[in-house]
Structure 1
Amino acid sequence: MTVAIFVDVDGVINAGLDRDGDLAHWPQDTWRKEHVWNAEHHVAYSINWSTCVIDRLRAMEALDGVEMIWSTTWTTRARSSLAPLIGIGHHWKVVTDFVANDDRMLAWWKATHVYQALQVHDRVVWIDDDIDAWMGMHRIAGRLDALDWIDDRVLTVCPTTSRGLTDQELTTIEEFLQ
């Protein structure tokens, strides 16, 4: 069995921190905060991540048949700038907002890449804090055909942006991989 795991950065690995308590779901001593310089935009981004999340993703990455994929607006900077900082993702494939053969018109480049991966993998895990909003947009528009490919072979995990991945969400993913 092969599984593709699509991982976003902001709101998934990088907790957004809206209010006090957003980081209470992992032990305080596991949280790290660094700044990553983005030369393209001439700005430094604050990155808040838990080593617990990284350790669990690393364990998933080590499983036979698992392909880890960056699916983030960070694009190749996830590998070049973020991965050395957090200690994972150096060799992960990166998908970008360019999509070839978007025959489903899914209205989001990330969804299209996940759909395409489902054509070649037995299962797909899609971790992104914007999934629920994207699905909601299609439901409101009455475009349920844009969601009909999301079946029991696809696990969508939509963390709360300010908190990033939680223990329960990672456990759900681990159970799906078994």
Structure 2
Amino acid sequence: MSLSTRAVAGLGAVVVIAAGTVGGSIAYASNQHEISDHRATLVVGNSSLVADPFCFNAGQPLTEQQQEECQDKAGKALEDGSLPKSDVTVSDRIGVGVSPEVAEHGWWANTNGGQQGQGGRFILASAAKDATYSGSVPASKALNASGKTLITVVETDPKAPDAIYGVWYFQLNTQAD
């Protein structure tokens, strides 16, 4: 069976129209006023979890009141289990990534677990600027003993650490190996 010139031309037209539709949809979606350019990704083993900021002020620094409200809201979300979460074993490796827009501004990430010498915190990324990934570390070093470890990611300029632009929270649930 041979294809006629008309069939090939028709198929080509369908491909061009489909590509134009997809391209137009992407352009339309990119003009939406969403915070999709401010994302953080939790990587656990071979899986990942992407989230929009838990607290965000349209690209402006959060006020002190907004920061306090954010912490209260995060505490309640941790209690009721509504934070983005992932199961983890002590043999897994974990890391945090951020979108290029967040990396350009600057960010840090830590857990509420880790060794006692670190004050009960484990730093995943410290004042990172232009880096989009914290690197991968053994989960055993970053988990706390309760079985629920909170990861906090904060967008902030290392030169103005009091100016917080976005905050993400993730919960790690420790599972047996």
**Taking structure 2 as the reference length, what is the TM-score of the superposition?**
0.22
Structure whose alpha-carbon radius of gyration is higher: 2
* Higher relative contact order, structure no. (Cα contacts within 8 Å, ≥ 6 residues apart): 1
